[in-house]
């Protein structure tokens, strides 16, 4: 087992745990601060009690940073199944996680000042502040969910083509990829129920199982860096 596997495995476990914490924190958010709410009520509520939203941003930011090492380790382990696809989609995932980290740190820095300005403003100024939005760099999630979803789906298909990881992780990862792409579809089409279901199943259930399972496999040395391709009989 090489150092990238050890580091990537540990980071994958941290990422899985971060998804669980994000899910728990989401349920602690005041109703006005939950995703999809209007900007004005969000800012007023945030100014009064920002604790859980700030905690959520920290979880997202740190989880995204640890995810980069996990992506690199997974990419190395599945590349024998398709090196070009592994490298390209791995790069997409790193971009997606970088956007998540940037958005999160930007929100942590700017939201307190924006909320304070909103609360102290007159009606016309409040309208102007609310119209500018908040801090999202990728409002429809094309990178944060779409690119990461493409990577999860592709990596999982490659897992099934090689002996890098247990087959069950490949199937779970396919579900993660599909659910993440459904979040983007829900954002683009403004279907809140689709976003809620896909984010709940993908981010709170499937993603933690996938990342933690991958992390355990990497740490145990079960996923060799150059895993051989499965025989045709092994992928049926």
- Residue 111 contacts by C-beta under 8 Å, 6 or more apart in sequence? 46, 50, 53, 54, 134, 135
Please give the pLDDT value at position 190: 87
Q: Range of 37's domain? A: 3-235
Residue 221 has pLDDT above 80, yes or no: no
Both tokens of 21, joined, read 């914490």
Q: How many domains does the chain have?
A: 1
* Gap between the terminal Cα atoms of the chain: 29
Calculate mean pLDDT across residues 165-188. 95
* Tens of pLDDT, residues 132-161: 766 678 989 999 999 999 999 999 999 999
Q: Provide the H-helix boundaries in 123-201.
A: 123-131, 148-161, 167-189, 192-199
Both tokens of 140, joined, read 């429809």
Residue 226 has pLDDT above 50, yes or no: no
The model's pTM: 0.90
């Amino acid at each position: 087992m090489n150092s990238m596997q050890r580091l990537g495995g540990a980071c994958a476990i941290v990422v899985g745990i971060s998804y669980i914490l994000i899910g728990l924190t989401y349920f602690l958010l005041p109703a006005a601060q939950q995703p999809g709410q209007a900007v004005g009520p969000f800012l007023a509520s945030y100014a009064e009690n920002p604790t859980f939203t700030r905690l959520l941003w920290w979880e997202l930011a740190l989880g995204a940073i640890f995810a980069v090492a996990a992506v690199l380790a997974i990419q190395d382990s599945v590349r024998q199944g398709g090196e070009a696809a592994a490298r390209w989609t791995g790069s997409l995932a790193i971009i997606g996680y970088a956007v998540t980290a940037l958005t999160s740190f930007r929100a942590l820095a700017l939201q307190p000042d924006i909320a304070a300005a909103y609360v102290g403003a007159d009606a016309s100024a409040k309208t102007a502040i609310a119209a500018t939005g908040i801090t999202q760099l990728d409002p429809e999630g094309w990178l944060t969910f779409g690119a990461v979803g493409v990577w999860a789906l592709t990596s999982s298909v490659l897992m099934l083509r090689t002996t890098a990881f247990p087959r069950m992780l490949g199937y779970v990862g396919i579900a993660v990829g599909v659910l993440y792409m459904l979040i983007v579809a829900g954002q683009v089409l403004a279907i809140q129920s689709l976003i809620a279901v896909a984010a709940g199943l993908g981010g709170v259930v499937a993603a933690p199982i996938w990342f933690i399972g991958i992390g355990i496999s990497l740490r145990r040395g079960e996923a060799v860096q150059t895993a051989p391709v499965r025989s045709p009989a092994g992928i049926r």
